[in-house]
Chains A and B, each alone.
Chain A
């Protein structure tokens, strides 16, 4: 079973920041938080990952709470092309498979 809990769906206005929460209260010290997204009929796309520090790349920012029991993916200026299912996954070091939950369906509205 997935080790994360995410809202089933969320809406966001185009141009606004999209904040997608994820709960991972049973995360272990050696587990990373990964975010992927899946646009309709495509394979999942890697967004970002982190261990305990906040991370930022060209796509998004990842904010991990100090106790590491939850995190938030932030898309700073959502566009219609960001409409997708977003998956939050916790995983140990390389070699381990990803356990996907149902994810959050984000709809960016014009």
Chain B
């Protein structure tokens, strides 16, 4: 059973460009969350997708957007990249079921460097 997978592993972009990161959730999971982790800090929540809709959003600007596909995979898009967007971007998947409590499983992350 494959866990959460993310692509690409590493990415280098120039300031002002746009980037798309991809995530495939763990088998059987229907909810995908994205986190940004700057060097030396804990992950910060960006947003969460369920049933192809954004359900929750953290304190991130509109330059950060996402999408969830019918097969539950997800994309994170960042427009007009800033140097401060350099970070490890983590995808986490979970199951959203009434009456149940499920932990989130994290992928290995995509390391984005903005120059």
- Which chain A residues have a beta carbon within 8 Å of chain B's beta carbons? 2, 32, 34, 36, 42-46, 49, 85, 87, 93-103
Chain B window 72-115, contacts with chain A (Cβ cutoff 8 Å), 1 for yes, 0 for no: 00000000000000000010101111001111111111000000
Which secondary structure dominates chain A's binding surface? Answer: loop
Inter-subunit contact B42/A95 (CB<8 Å): no
Give the residue among A2, A46, A103 with the most B Cβ atoms within 10 A.
Answer: A46
How many whole Å from B92's CB to the nearest CB in chain A?
8
Instruction: Give complex CA distance A30, B41 in Å.
Output: 27
Partner of B94, one of A42, A45, A94, A100: A94
Instruction: Give complex CA distance A44, B100 in Å.
Output: 22
CB-CB under 8 A from B43, the residues of chain A are 44, 98, 100
Instruction: Give complex CA distance A44, B33 in Å.
Output: 13
Count of A-B contacts with CB under 8 A?
A: 60
Inter-subunit contact B42/A46 (CB<8 Å): no
What are 22 A-B pairs with beta-carbon distances under 8 A?
A34-B103, A42-B109, A43-B92, A43-B109, A44-B90, A44-B92, A46-B104, A87-B42, A94-B100, A95-B31, A95-B48, A95-B50, A95-B55, A95-B96, A97-B48, A97-B58, A98-B45, A98-B104, A99-B45, A100-B35, A101-B42, A103-B42
CB-CB under 8 A from B35, the residues of chain A are 98, 100
Partner of A93, one of B44, B92, B101, B106: B101
